[in-house]
Amino acid sequence: MILADDQSIYTGITTDVERRFVQHQSGLGARYFRGRRPLKVLYIESADDRSAASRREAAIKKLNRPQKLALIASNPSEGG
């Protein structure tokens, strides 16, 4: 999960967090960041494969903001 400059939280999947964050910063990443600027990586989770990552991404996207913040707070060692 990435914190944007409007204080929103973006959720996505990648095989390389650092590379993808740089893409988002340079405008080559998700359309979500058009008009927003990514500030920092808040939370990282690993998955066994892309299918599992996609399922987990969908589950996280269904969470409301307080639930996402609780998830981030519950596992600070996984964050950036």
User: pLDDT tens across 1-49, in order?
Assistant: 999 999 999 999 999 999 999 999 999 999 999 999 999 999 999 999 9
Q: Which domain holds residue 53?
A: 2-78
Domain count, the chain: 1
pLDDT at 75 (0 to 100): 83
pTM of the model: 0.89
What CATH number does residue 40 fall under?
3.40.1440
Q: Centre a 10 Å sphere on the Cβ of residue 76 and count the other Cβ atoms it contains.
A: 9
